[in-house]
């Protein structure tokens, strides 16, 4: 069974909050916002969470 990173829940909440605030933004823009906020996260990880939680 794959392991889940420790910050997965916090990151998921941050993605959902940004998606709610910036409704027209996609996962790439949200990735840029997260990176600007100090998250070390790639677009692939954000996209995976985005598909699972936002759409």
The 10s digit of each residue's pLDDT in 3-30 is 888 999 999 999 999 999 999 999 999 9
Q: Is residue 2 part of a domain?
A: no
Q: Is residue 27 part of a domain?
A: yes
- List the domain range (segments joined by +) for residue 39: 8-53
Q: Can you give the pTM of this predicted structure?
A: 0.90
Q: Which residue has the higher pLDDT, 13 or 2?
A: 13
- Rounded Cα–Cα distance for residues 33 and 50 (Å): 14
Query: What pLDDT, on the 0 to 100 scale, is given for residue 28?
Result: 97
Q: Which residue has the higher pLDDT, 7 or 2?
A: 7
**Burial (0-12, 13-18, 19+ Cβ within 10 Å), 37:** exposed
Q: Is residue 25 part of a domain?
A: yes
Helix 27-36 and helix 8-21, axial crossing angle in degrees, nearest 10: 110
Q: Smallest Cα–Cα separation from 14: which of 47, 39, 48?
A: 39
Report whether pLDDT(1) > 80: no
Residue 47 pLDDT class (50, 70, 90 cuts)? very high
Number of folded domains that form the chain: 1
């Amino acid at each position: 069974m794959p392991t889940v990173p420790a910050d997965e829940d916090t990151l998921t909440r941050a993605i959902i909050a940004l998606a709610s605030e910036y409704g027209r933004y996609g996962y790439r823009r949200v990735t840029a916002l997260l990176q600007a906020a100090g998250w070390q996260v790639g677009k692939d990880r954000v996209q995976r969470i985005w598909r699972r939680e936002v759409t």
